[in-house]
């Protein structure tokens, strides 16, 4: 592409990004903001491609626009039709919150100052000679890493600690979501058009997830992108009103959720026993070990994202049968559900049922 063409392309992309971000942040209609945010994610994916970051573009395409959009839209649909009718009844204009003008001004000035500081730091970074020590270290050690995609090598070999801790963050987040109550109710069975869409979309999504996991070793792709694509398959099934969305139940679900961190730690400890540093793979085995960790991580990430879309602890299938009997039991359970307890499935089911009237009260 010629330099002028590229400049036009960059200009269009940057103007679109800033405009979409501004429009998504302004206004008080949540649904509008979510759709604008999804479009922002789409354009951002194009920008990552332009900046030669196809790995990031893949993740942005799968998570930033697709799954985040689905997640936020599911949250919007729970809100009342009139935007914030109940909560801003005292405020005639939801756009002008009860904050004082002085405070708004102060925050705006501080944010502008932050932008200025960041711009100054960036300008400094751009003007100085590029720091080539890290990229050179990556490319010179790529041979021994077991994979040929430098981003995967960084994520799962050179900086494997980061990824391990990131999986721990995911696990913590999903445990937090569990603690906040049961999942949203499912959807009604879909009509023929949606069902037809789901019938071909789900297998293609699953196939693409497997492909991305496999290809991640030598080309853009990997556990994050594959996990997000796999989660999208479950989300489609959920939206189509299926009961079985491919999410394991009970103990199996817990094993899958903890599997990412677990496999990582077990392999690290195993290496420690054989006299190597924690997560210091022997070069001959590195490829296989990385694929093993990535497979477990893919399943864990997919389970986490699906649970995030469900918005809480999935109800066991048995609840639907027992609910009629147990929901008569009076008494609200004030304390938050503790899903990690030692109770049996029936007790948990009963508790979930008890909590239903309480959660129904939301606006």
Partner 1 sequence: MIDVLSGLLVLAGVGFYLAGSIGLLRLPDLYSRLHALTKADNLGLGLLTAGLALHSQELLTVLKLLLIWLAVLSASAASAHLIARYARRQETKS
Partner 2 sequence: MSELLSVSALGVIFSLSLGLLRILRGPGAADRMLATQLIGTAGVGALLLLSLLSGQQALMDVALVLALLAAVAAAAFTGRQRRARSD
Partner 3 sequence: MLTAQWLYGMSGCLIAAMGLRTALLHTCLLHRVIAINVTGAGVFMMLIAVAYRGAEIPPDPVPHALVLTGIVVAISATALALALARRLTAEPSND
User: Which parts of this chain interact with partner 1 (CB under 8 A)?
Assistant: 193-194, 196-197, 200-201, 204
Integer Cα distance of 339 and 323 in angstroms: 18
Residue 104 interacts with, from partner 1, partner 3, partner 2, none (CB under 5-8 Å by kind): partner 3
Residue 205 binds to partner 3 (criterion: CB under 8 A) = no
Residue 321 binds to partner 2 (criterion: CB under 8 A) = no
First to last CA, the chain: 53
Query: Are the C-beta atoms of 184 and 78 separated by less than 8 Å?
Result: yes
Residue 213 binds to partner 3 (criterion: CB under 8 A) = no
Classify burial at 135, counting beta carbons within 10 Å of its beta carbon; exposed 0-12, middle 13-18, buried 19 or more. Answer: exposed
Interaction mask 142-171, partner 3, x per CB under 8 A: --------xx-xxx---x--xx--x--xx-
Residue 266 interacts with, from partner 3, partner 1, partner 2, none (CB under 5-8 Å by kind): none
* The two three-digit tokens of residue 169, written as one number: 């963050």
Phi, psi at 313, each rounded to 5°: -70, 125
Smallest distance from the beta carbon of 325 to partner 2, in angstroms? 12
Residue 107 binds to partner 2 (criterion: CB under 8 A) = no
Q: Which residues contact 71 (CB under 8 A, 6 or more apart)?
A: 308, 309
Residue 193 interacts with, from partner 2, partner 3, partner 1, none (CB under 5-8 Å by kind): partner 1
Query: Are the C-beta atoms of 17 and 44 separated by less than 8 Å?
Result: yes
Among candidate residues 332, 319, 321, the one with its CA nearest the CA of residue 359: 332
- Positions in 125-184 near partner 2 (CB under 8 A): 184
Residue 354 binds to partner 3 (criterion: CB under 8 A) = no
Q: Which of 14, 18, 19, 203 binds partner 2 (CB under 8 A)?
A: 19
> CA of 50: how far to CAs of 13, 63, 160, 209, 356, in Å?
9, 19, 27, 24, 48
Q: Which of 8, 112, 252, 272 binds partner 3 (CB under 8 A)?
A: 112
Residue spans of alpha helices (H) in 51-132: 54-59, 68-78, 101-127
Among candidate residues 342, 333, 315, the one with its CA nearest the CA of residue 247: 315
CA atoms within 13 A on the CB side of 343: 13
* The two three-digit tokens of residue 127, written as one number: 């003007």
* The two three-digit tokens of residue 324, written as one number: 């009629």
Residue 54 binds to partner 2 (criterion: CB under 8 A) = yes
Query: Are the C-beta atoms of 149 and 223 separated by less than 8 Å?
Result: no
Integer Cα distance of 274 and 251 in angstroms: 31
Q: Which residues contact 229 (CB under 8 A, 6 or more apart)?
A: 62, 205, 208, 209, 212
- Positions in 190-209 near partner 2 (CB under 8 A): 190, 194, 197-198, 201, 204-205, 208
Smallest distance from the beta carbon of 304 to partner 1, in angstroms? 25
Among candidate residues 216, 209, 210, the one with its CA nearest the CA of residue 290: 216
Residue 69 interacts with, from partner 3, partner 1, partner 2, none (CB under 5-8 Å by kind): partner 2
Smallest distance from the beta carbon of 280 to partner 2, in angstroms? 29
**Only segment of 7-15, 199-207, 255-263, 316-324 that touches partner 3 (CB under 8 A):** 7-15
Residues pairing with 182 in the sheet: 313
Q: Which of 8, 85, 97, 189 binds partner 3 (CB under 8 A)?
A: 97
Q: Which of 202, 208, 224, 349 binds partner 3 (CB under 8 A)?
A: 224
**Only segment of 130-138, 198-206, 207-215, 267-275 that touches partner 3 (CB under 8 A):** 130-138
Smallest distance from the beta carbon of 97 to partner 3, in angstroms? 4
Interacting residues toward partner 2 by CB under 8 A:
1-2, 5, 8-9, 12-13, 15-16, 19-20, 23, 31-32, 35-36, 38-39, 42-43, 45-46, 49, 54, 57-58, 61-62, 65-67, 69-70, 73-74, 77, 184-188, 190, 194, 197-198, 201, 204-205, 208, 211-212, 215, 219-221, 225, 229, 232, 235-236, 239-241, 320, 323-324, 327, 356, 360
């Amino acid at each position: 592409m010629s330099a002028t063409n590229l400049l036009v392309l960059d200009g269009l992309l940057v103007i679109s990004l800033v405009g979409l971000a501004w429009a998504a942040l302004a206004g008080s209609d949540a649904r509008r903001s979510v759709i604008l945010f999804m479009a922002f994610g789409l354009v951002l994916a194009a920008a990552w491609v332009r900046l030669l970051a196809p790995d990031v573009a893949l993740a942005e395409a799968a998570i930033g626009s697709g799954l985040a959009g689905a997640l936020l839209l599911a949250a919007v649909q729970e809100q009342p039709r009139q935007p914030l009718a109940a909560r801003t009844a005292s405020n005639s204009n939801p756009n002008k919150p009860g904050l004082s003008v002085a405070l708004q001004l102060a925050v705006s000035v501080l944010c502008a100052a932050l932008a200025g500081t960041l711009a100054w730091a960036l300008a400094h970074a751009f003007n100085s000679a590029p720091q080539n020590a890290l990229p050179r270290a990556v490319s010179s050690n790529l041979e021994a890493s077991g994979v040929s995609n430098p981003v995967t090598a960084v994520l799962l070999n050179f900086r494997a600690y980061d990824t391990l801790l990131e999986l721990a963050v995911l696990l913590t987040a999903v445990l937090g979501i569990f603690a906040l109550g049961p999942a949203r109710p499912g959807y009604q069975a879909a009509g023929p058009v949606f069902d037809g869409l789901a019938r071909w979309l789900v297998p293609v999504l699953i196939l693409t997830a497997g492909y991305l996991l496999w290809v991640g070793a030598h080309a853009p792709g990997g556990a994050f992108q594959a996990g997000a694509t796999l989660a999208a398959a479950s989300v489609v099934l959920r939206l189509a009103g299926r009961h079985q969305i491919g999410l394991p139940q009970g103990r199996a679900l817990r094993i899958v959720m903890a599997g990412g961190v677990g496999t990582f730690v077990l392999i690290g400890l195993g290496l420690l026993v054989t006299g190597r540093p924690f997560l210091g793979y022997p070069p001959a085995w590195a490829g296989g070990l990385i694929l093993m960790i990535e497979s477990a991580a893919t399943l864990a990430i997919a389970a986490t994202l699906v649970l995030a879309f469900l918005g809480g602890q999935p109800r066991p299938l048995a609840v639907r049968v027992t609910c009629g009997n147990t929901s008569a039991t009076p008494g609200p359970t004030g304390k938050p559900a503790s899903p990690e307890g030692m109770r049996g499935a029936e007790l948990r089911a009963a508790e979930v049922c008890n909590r239903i009237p309480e959660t129904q009260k939301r606006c």
